[in-house]
Amino acid sequence: MKGILSEIGRLNHIAIAVPNIQKASSIWENALGANISSTQSLPEHGVKIVFIESPNTKVELLEPLNKQSPISKFLERNPNGGMHHMCYEVSNLENAIEKLIAAGVKILGDGIPKIGAHGNPVIFLNPGDFSGTLIELEEIKSN
Ligand code: CO
């Protein structure tokens, strides 16, 4: 297991699934005074998103675009919304995958990185291996 933690980078975002992105983001803006990005539609991921900025990370609100959206199933189980996943940055996703597999962690889907909502390669890790929490790893090239 040695070396696994060396892969973990900054917390990039925490994603919260919501039934109504306008309604959900207004409370962050009005009650918490947060800066809210404009809404983006990502049809290839089946979601609409906004970012809520804070000094050390961001919250991403996800609203499904349709019934086929991966977020729709989650909202069936959590109709008022809820925390969906957290995302850590890694500098080299292929290295991270090798170490995760060696450590016995299951990578969701076919295990091959996909291009995520921010245009970078991402994978998702089996929530059962992380105390019931879905973890996304996003490759961020250090500059
Ligand atoms: Co994410």
Domain boundaries, the chain: 11-139
**Contact indicator for 89, 140 with CB cutoff of 8 Å:** yes
Alpha carbon of 63 to ligand 1 centroid (Å):
13
CA-atom Rg of the chain in angstroms: 16
> Which run of H or of E encompasses 95?
helix 93-102
Q: What is the pLDDT along the chain (143 residues), one digit of tens a residue?
A: 444 445 789 999 999 999 999 999 999 999 999 999 999 999 988 999 999 999 999 999 999 999 999 899 999 999 999 999 999 999 999 999 999 999 999 999 999 999 988 889 999 999 999 999 999 999 998 65
Alpha carbon of 30 to ligand 1 centroid (Å):
24
Say which of 63, 89, 136, 138 is annotated catalytic.
136
DSSP 8-class letter at 44: G
Alpha carbon of 133 to ligand 1 centroid (Å):
13
3-state secondary structure 123-139: EEECHHHCCCCCEEEEE
91-97 own/partner pairs: CB under 8 Å, 24+ apart: 91/7, 91/9, 91/139, 91/140, 91/141, 91/142, 92/7, 92/139, 93/121, 93/122, 93/123, 93/137, 93/138, 93/139, 95/7, 96/7, 96/123, 96/137, 97/123
Residues paired with 85 in a beta bridge: 15
Nearest to 117 by CA among 13, 11, 8, 19: 13
- Residue 136 annotated to the active site: yes
Q: Give the C-alpha separation, 13 to 10, whole Å.
A: 9
What pLDDT shows up at residue 141?
Answer: 80
Which residues are CB-contacts of 18 (< 8 A; sequence separation ≥ 6)? Answer: 24, 61, 62, 63, 81
**Fold entry, domain 11-139:** 2,3-Dihydroxybiphenyl 1,2-Dioxygenase; domain 1 (3.10.180)
Alpha carbon of 14 to ligand 1 centroid (Å):
7
Alpha carbon of 84 to ligand 1 centroid (Å):
9
What pLDDT shows up at residue 51?
Answer: 95
